[in-house]
Amino acid sequence: MPIASTSIFRYRNPSSLLLLRRGAAASFRHLSFVAKHQNPISRKAQNKNLLRAKQTVKHLSSLSPTLPVNHRPLLSATDAVGMVAAAQANFMRVIVEDSRVEDGGGGGGDGDGDAVRVGVELLCVVRAVLKKIKRRVLVGDKVLVGSIDWVDRRGVIENVFSRKSEILDPPVANVDHLLVLFAMEQPKLEAYSLTRFLVEAESTGIPITLALNKSELIDEETRVAWKLRLRSWGYGPVFCSVESKFGLDTLAFILREQTTVIVGPSGVGKSSLINALRSNHPLTNVSSEGNNWFDSILGSKLLEEQRVGEVSIRSGRGKHTTRHVSLLPLSGGGYLADTPGFNQPSLLKVTTQSLAQTFPEVRKLLSANEPEKCSFNDCLHLGEPGCVVKGDWERYPYYFQLLDEIKIREEFQLRTLGTKREGDVRYKTGDMGVKQAEPRLEPKKHRRQSRKRMNQSILDELDDLDDDDSLLDAEGDSILKEIGNENQ
Ligand code: GDP
Ligand code: ZN
């Protein structure tokens, strides 16, 4: 399947790596201290400090996004590599995938005891400096954890590995499979609605399985007719029924060894299917109820306090509240997101140019004609001379309709925002999943700041960072203290 570079899906460039550890933050603290407190300082020295500060800030913000995905860092006894399985408030549950066990001699990486720690679940906070450089940690991320206390199962997320993929609804990294779920009846399967969902899903570039639930409500004839119809679209649907358990084994088999998000309209049985699949797994019932896990480790009272603290500490500025999502381990390996994904395709990231590629039948027509191509590079397949994608496929009218919708949106964006370049527009997603476009404000890019202002803002940044880091330390310490108290 070709990988589209559009939509809610992004590739990250796994270029160089820079491991940010406490040392870096400490040097910041030092710099800001120098700049702030040594008042009768020569202008020359001050400028020099500012220059150093500036370089450090620049250096920090231009950090490569992440660790390369196959990088195997040298782990100390208190480090591990793991996968974020759940997030709640400031806490992340990380399942250990690789660690080093102290073997007395130090050095080396693969102690025999490794296996014992693989699968251990750690309660982690994220280094404040990662937040500062906007390196958001998502459920599904592969992370480097440091400062681990193996007895109390706590640690600090130090860095994130490159992502294969990233979806925003629900926010999960490294999703490698989307299960598009519809019902045959209640609500009745409808070709246009299904097409919109498939287009949205295809636009992520993530492989898709189409499953049709409530199939016990239809007769064999209807089932066969839909099967043939969908085959002509390029899909081999899995018919299932959560009610009668029909087809669930097939789905469980398809989901093995992958991280899957289920998407589809409301009422089709997404939550029922998630529950049915998780109850297959003895482990999921015990330890993978994300919220219960956090509550049992932290005590729900502490979590409540933590949420209140988040707002008040930061001078009333509300912090982004992450939607809770957990990854449930499946019996055949792999994970399933416990929260269904988009149930209203916005198609916001599909462009007039990328739309055709979200239809498997167009992809097939294009590849069947190779090496011949449409005469125009930017052919929209609307009957242009020399177009190899003829209009004799069932969903052509849908393609046409969607193209119209997207065209209108692009023209609107062009008028209101002055551009349709993706980088200049950002999409805000409200609680209800409604997306709104707004211009991305980049004051540093568009407005020239006076040197004095610029120097001041660097100092502010450094102070902020300083505060943040001590905040994390204080935050971390108080959490650890609380946990200590709880355990006594
Ligand atoms: P969601 O909105 O997609 O998460 O759908 P739900 O899981 O909440 O299910 C919606 C309704 O469909 C519920 O009343 C379920 O009991 C029902 N339902 C789920 N699966 C099936 C099925 O296979 N057959 C039938 N007849 N009803 C089902
Ligand atoms: Zn064409």
| Residue 191 Cα to ligand 2 middle (Å) | 24
The residues with which 179 forms a beta bridge, in sequence order, are 209, 262
Q: What pLDDT does 129 receive?
A: 84
The pLDDT, as a whole number, for residue 297 is 57
Spacing, Cα 364 to ligand 1 middle (Å): 34
**pLDDT of amino acid 333:** 81
Residue 185 near ligand 1, beta carbon < 6 Å: no
Instruction: Assess whether the C-beta atom of 268 lies below 6 angstroms from ligand 1.
Output: yes
How many angstroms separate the alpha carbon of residue 347 from the centre of ligand 2?
21
Q: Which residue has the higher pLDDT, 132 or 483?
A: 132
Residue 184 has pLDDT above 90, yes or no: yes
Query: pLDDT tens digit string along 108-142?
Result: 444 445 557 888 999 999 998 888 887 889 999 99
In this predicted model, which residue has the larger pLDDT, 139 or 55? 139
The residue-averaged pLDDT of 411-431 equals 63
| The pLDDT of residue 135 | 82
Range among 59-68, 169-178, 457-466 with highest mean pLDDT value: 169-178
Which residues place a Cβ less than 5 A from the ion ligand 2?
374, 379, 381, 387, 389
pLDDT tens digits for 4-29?
333 333 333 333 323 333 333 333 33
Preceding amide of 40 cis, omega within 30: no
Q: Residue 175: what pLDDT? A: 96
Report the separation in Å between the CA atom of 365 and the middle of ligand 2, taken as the mean of its atom positions: 10
**pLDDT attached to residue 446:** 44
How many residues comprise the chain? Answer: 488
Of the listed ligands, the closest to the CA of 375 is 2
Q: Which ligand is nearest to the CA of 184?
A: 1
What distance in Å separates the CA atoms of residue 447 and residue 426, rounded to the nearest whole number? 19
Residue 387: count of CB within 10 angstroms of its CB: 17
Residue 267 CA to ligand 1 centre (angstroms): 6
Q: Is the CB of 217 under 6 A from ligand 1?
A: yes
User: Confidence band (pLDDT; 50, 70, 90) for 301?
Assistant: very low
Q: Please check the confidence at residue 302 and state whether its pLDDT lies above 50.
A: no
pLDDT of residue 241: 98
Which two three-digit tokens encode residue 431? 């609680």
Give residue 253 CA to ligand 1 midpoint distance, Å. Answer: 21
Mapping DSSP onto H, E and C, the string for the chain reads CCCCCCCCCCCCCCCCCCCCCHHHHHHHHHHHHHHHHCCCCCHHHHHHHHHHHHHHHHHHHCCCCCECCCCCCCCCCCCEEEEEEEEECCEEEEEEEEECCCCCCCCCCCCCCHHHHCCCEEEEEECHHHHHCCCCCCECCEEEEEEEECCCCEEEEEEEECCCCEEECCEEECCCEEEEEEECCCCCCCHHHHHHHHHHHHCCCCCEEEEEECHHHCCHHHHHHHHHHHHHHCCCCEECECCCCECHHHHHHHHCCCEEEEECCCCCCHHHHHHHHHCCCHHHHHHCCHHHHHHHHHCHHHHHHHHHHHHHHCCCCCCCCCCCCEEEECCCCCEEECCCCCCCCCCCCCCCCCHHHHCHHHHHHHHHCCCCCCCCCCCCCCCCCCCCCCCCCCCHHHHHHHHHHHHHHHHHHHHHHCCCCHHHEEEEECCCCCEEEEECCCHHHHCCCCHHHHHHHHHHHHHHHHHHHHHHHHHHHHHHHHHHHHHC
Choice from 180, 272, 274 to test ligand 1 binding pocket (greatest atom count within 8 A of CB): 272
Ligand nearest to the CA of 357: 2
